[in-house]
Amino acid sequence: MQTQFLRRRMLDRCSSRGLARILGALLGCSIAFLPLTGNAQVYRWVDQDGVIHLSSEKPPPGVKAERIEIQRSSSSKRTTSSSGSSGSSGSNRPAPAPASPQQVAAREDLLSQLKTRECVIALEALERKTGGTEPTSAGEIKRLKQTADLNCSQDPVRRLQQEEMAAKLRVANSPSCVEARNRLADMTVAGAAFPREQVRAQQQFVDEHCTSPVR
């Protein structure tokens, strides 16, 4: 538990954009060990304007993309390649079999999760930056809006859910929650003489109000 809270404390000291990058790295690690099966891919790339794209289709020719594969085995594999690449020259490996309906469903579920994450992070950053709480630029606002437009759901019900998640993320990133998580970390350090009930109450507050809805 102590290691977990120390890690949270390190994240709290980063900027929100740095936090998004770290969350992205952690998400990437979790993808690498998802117990999914299938023979399908999800592509993630950032265009020249910094806009994040996620798709089950290959990006335009020449664009370097992160390919997230859902393998037939019990783990998934991530590789980085340019679209249009046909693999190693002279390879005699057979072409992959068409994806089954179950594999396609697993791919679409993963794609939905990744899009929701990028949508929520973009919406939270937009609210914070347009609210005048930190310096920004017209280019940054445009990039965030485009990322949100590309990745947020067009379904009104789902979009409302994503906006609610962005609001929760905004609270989780707030100074009061940073302080709450740091206090909890201090209370759980070995040798700290805090009553168990006080630690439990602080843990409950953090879990209910200061936990990020995206990973």
HEC string for the chain: CHHHHHHHHHHHCCCHHHHHHHHHHHHHHHHCCCCCCCCEEEEEEECCCCCEEEECCCCCCCCEEEEEEECCCCCCEEEEEECCCCCCCCCCCCCCCCCCHHHHHHHHHHHHHHHHHHHHHHHHHHHHHHCCCCCCCHHHHHHHHHHHHHHCCCCHHHHHHHHHHHHHHHHHCCHHHHHHHHHHHHHCCCCCCCCHHHHHHHHHHHHHHCCCCCC
pLDDT in the model for residue 171: 95
pLDDT in the model for residue 91: 53
Phi, psi of 60 (to 5 degrees): -55, 155
CB neighbourhood size of 95 (10 A): 5
Tokens of 52: 């994040």
pLDDT in the model for residue 98: 75
pLDDT in the model for residue 30: 38
CB neighbourhood size of 24 (10 A): 17
pLDDT in the model for residue 95: 64
Residue-level pLDDT, tens digit, the chain, 215 residues: 444 444 444 444 443 444 444 444 434 433 433 333 334 689 999 999 999 999 999 888 899 999 887 654 434 444 445 454 444 444 566 666 677 888 888 889 999 999 999 999 999 999 989 987 788 899 999 999 999 999 999 999 999 999 999 999 999 999 999 999 999 999 999 888 899 999 999 999 999 999 999 87
